[in-house]
Amino acid sequence: MGCLRMQQFHRDMPPTPVFVYGQSLQTATFPGPTIVARQGVPLAVETTYTYPNVQPAAGNIWYHDHALGLTRASLLAGLLAAYIVEWPELEMPFNLPSGEFDLHLVIADRQFNTDGTIYMNSTGVEPKIHPQWQPEYFGEVITVNGKAWPFQAVQRRRYRLRILNASNARYLNIRFSNGLPFTVIASDATYLSRPVTVSNLLLSPAEIFDVIVDFSLVVNPNATDIELLNSAPYPFPTGTPTNDSLDGKVMAFNVSAKWQLNDDINTPTPADNSTTVPEIGVPFAKVTALPPTMKTRYIVLYENMTTNDPNTGKTMNLYINGLRLEDPPTETPISGTTELWHVINLTPDNHPLHLHLAEFQAVQMLQLVDPDMFKTCMLQHNDTVICNLSQHAVGALQPVPEEEKTWKNVVKIPPAYVTSVVVAFRLVHNNMPYPFDATAAPGYVYHCHILDHEDNAMIRPLTLLP
Ligand SMILES: [Cu+2]
């Protein structure tokens, strides 16, 4: 059930009402309760909706309100939570940190009024066109699990951190203040084929990284505070830089002292660090070769401005392929097949592309040469052939980050690039068709997961055919 509850995001701020989820008024929380399901074991919700839970583990997903045109407001109000699909047969041999050493970090930026209520601008950027719409919501306060800049006490041992960026529009480029590495074992709903160790992680809205962090690597023997920092400009990648004392900070980890100097207390027993970072993940994670025949589509991301003058023009709306949600479906894949989509970003910002139903992964990112000339032509003709895409898609190849080479729910689409993604309209772990009729009405959607974009109107129908 959902209800309104007063929540104090920070000790220096008054409580504010947010929507909370839970099984009763007394136990409802923001974020709502984490749902832990089992791979292949269906979950029925009030006999109306049944979720078959056939995502390939690790199955880090999340659930949230999806009211058409209102998602940005609903999620700001609190209607979101984590969802785990467990698969013990697959996961037990990995011997990953579990129980209190397996933490969800649901990160979301928020802006607050002085009375503690969550601030959302209610005047449109161009009120003559739309009375409320703003291109992106950004808050200076970074919250984790419903608390502003929280602290987490940790032992000197390995932890599993399932990190979700639940922000409306903010990208997060996170790293530890002492350089402690993240070993990525999974992203979104799937393990990687092999863990990847990185010093920073770039998370778009709705993106999830599942990492192992080994706090036993902290060299200072005293109790130590390590900060988790964010350096992603907003909008990403060329917007405002973060402020070191506000949105540049995410949270802190208080690492317990290994021993205490100059006292009579015995050296504590070293923390049990017998969990592992698995050497291999799942064999189906990475697309290694494309099938010889695949349906190919071109997906073009546009930002429509009020004027062409960059000094005075304001964002009016964002469209995919120049079409609205209400326009007839153009993406009509056959259920059970795999497709190759070339996603062309003609806007200045990175967009997190999200498909309902299907999982997908980037296989190539190719820079556009003379992108402005191509964009001018596309704004006029909306046709990759007339506008000579093949003569523009000849720039630098940017490698797909190793930690993103797995089946994803969200893929970051950089500006002035053609990002080619393999889209599986089937189960990716066994190549089987879906265990339900994916062609049944009303069908699905795909959209940008910047919620303000999704609401206006970077969203299109996705209709599967038998
Ligand atoms: Cu977008």
Q: What residue ranges do the domains of the chain occupy?
A: 2-255, 295-462
Strand partners, 91: none
Cα of 196 vs centre of ligand 1, distance in Å, is 28
Cα of 65 vs centre of ligand 1, distance in Å, is 18
Domains 2-255 and 295-462 share a fold: yes
Tell me, what's the pLDDT at 46? 67
Cα of 454 vs centre of ligand 1, distance in Å, is 7
Tell me, what's the pLDDT at 260? 47
Cα of 24 vs centre of ligand 1, distance in Å, is 36
User: 317: which residues sit within 8 A by CB, 6+ positions away?
Assistant: 130, 133, 304, 456, 457
Tell me, what's the pLDDT at 47? 60
182-198 mean pLDDT: 96
pLDDT tens figures, 78-107: 999 999 999 999 999 999 999 999 999 999
Cα of 135 vs centre of ligand 1, distance in Å, is 9
Cα of 371 vs centre of ligand 1, distance in Å, is 18
Q: At residue 270, does pLDDT exceed 80?
A: no
Q: Which CATH class is domain 295-462?
A: mainly beta
Of 345 and 19, the structure prediction assigns the larger pLDDT to: 345
Q: What tokens does 283 get?
A: 């064999």
Reported pTM: 0.90
Cα of 124 vs centre of ligand 1, distance in Å, is 17
Q: At residue 60, does pLDDT exceed 60?
A: yes
Cα of 446 vs centre of ligand 1, distance in Å, is 12
Cα of 458 vs centre of ligand 1, distance in Å, is 7
The Cα–Cα gap between 87 and 59 comes to 8
Cα of 450 vs centre of ligand 1, distance in Å, is 5
Cα of 130 vs centre of ligand 1, distance in Å, is 18
Cα of 92 vs centre of ligand 1, distance in Å, is 38
Tell me, what's the pLDDT at 335? 96
Cα of 411 vs centre of ligand 1, distance in Å, is 11
Residue with tokens 């399932």: 162
Cα of 270 vs centre of ligand 1, distance in Å, is 47
Tell me, what's the pLDDT at 205? 98
Cα of 205 vs centre of ligand 1, distance in Å, is 10
Domain 2-255 falls under CATH 2.60.40.420:
yes
Cα of 274 vs centre of ligand 1, distance in Å, is 42
Tell me, what's the pLDDT at 211? 98
Sign of the C-alpha dihedral computed for residues 234, 460, 315 and 123 taken in this order: negative
Tell me, what's the pLDDT at 262? 46
Cα of 320 vs centre of ligand 1, distance in Å, is 10
Cα of 282 vs centre of ligand 1, distance in Å, is 31
Cα of 110 vs centre of ligand 1, distance in Å, is 19
